[in-house]
Amino acid sequence: MNLARRALATSSLALALACSKPASATASKPAPAAFPAGTVLVMNDVPIRADEVEELASEYAMLEPHDTPTQLRRIALSLTIFPRIAAAAIDAGRRAGAQKLAEAYRAELGNGDMPPGPLTGPMENEHTGAFADLGFDFWRMAKDLQPGSWSPVFEAPGCFYVLRVKTRKEGSLPSLTRLTIGTFAFPYLDAATAQADIEAALDRSRLTILDDTWRDAVPAALRYRFHVESP
């Protein structure tokens, strides 16, 4: 098992692959016309476009170059997209506040100003390592940044982030490039219960497959867990 595979296998978000007993309620089917062009799946009324899945799949392909396109889609959906959508619905008001604060911080950082802290907001945290140390979300946002550059605001399950690369040492593979990054975190879920809250939200989730050619991109366990329907 290679480095990237071990890191993916040990990710806490891999719990999203677990199969849980479905609730008795059934979800109504959304109207395909209500969603943007390119929508292939709908989770909890949130459209999932093919291009956003493929973008993530292409980044996972840097870590797992021998995986098939279908398997890379499964990884992107299971480890990134499904948990993020589930987390976003837990506390919409708190999430909106965290996003607003993150955007305000990013605007100041873009002007060359370091926002005050810790009383008025988060402090910058430093992390050093390659993919296996940083995790997928930090790695994917930092891998193409040059030292001193700030990322846009991005969302991981339960939290918005802004990061910058401080130093980088290129590796023989993208997963081995060693980075020192500074991050600002804007959580909207409590760290102590976030994983349990996300798992519970996943248990309540419903998925509709609008494009049947994407059915195999959803692992069978998740099709059962999310009560998959086709319009």
Per-residue pLDDT of 126-164, as tens digits, reads 999 999 999 999 999 999 999 999 999 999 999 999 999
- For range 38-46, the mean pLDDT: 96
The DSSP letter of residue 105 is: H
Tokens at 190, concatenated: 């409590």
pLDDT at 206: 97
Domain range annotation of the chain: 38-90+191-231, 118-187
For 161-176, write each residue's pLDDT tens digit. Answer: 999 999 999 999 999 9
Higher per-residue pLDDT: 58 or 108? 58
| Sheet arrangement for strand 178-187 | 125-129, 178-187, 159-169, 154-156
The pLDDT of residue 27 is 44
Q: What's the residue count for the chain?
A: 231
- Checking if the pLDDT of 81 tops 60, the result is yes
CA distance 4 to 25: 38
Range with the lowest mean pLDDT among 42-51, 118-127, 157-166, 208-217? Answer: 118-127
Mean of per-residue pLDDT scores for the chain: 86
Cα distance between residue 179 and residue 183, in whole Å:
12
How does residue 115 score in pLDDT terms, banded at 50, 70 and 90? low
Percent with pLDDT over 70 in the chain: 81
Residue 15 confidence (pLDDT) above 60: no
Q: What is the pLDDT of residue 3?
A: 39
26-37 pLDDT tens trace: 444 555 558 899
- Read off the DSSP letter of residue 81: I
Query: Has residue 8 got a pLDDT over 60?
Result: no
Q: Are 131 and 175 in contact (CB under 8 A)?
A: yes
Cβ atoms of 181 and 127 closer than 8 Å: yes
Query: Are the beta carbons of 86 and 198 closer than 8 angstroms?
Result: yes
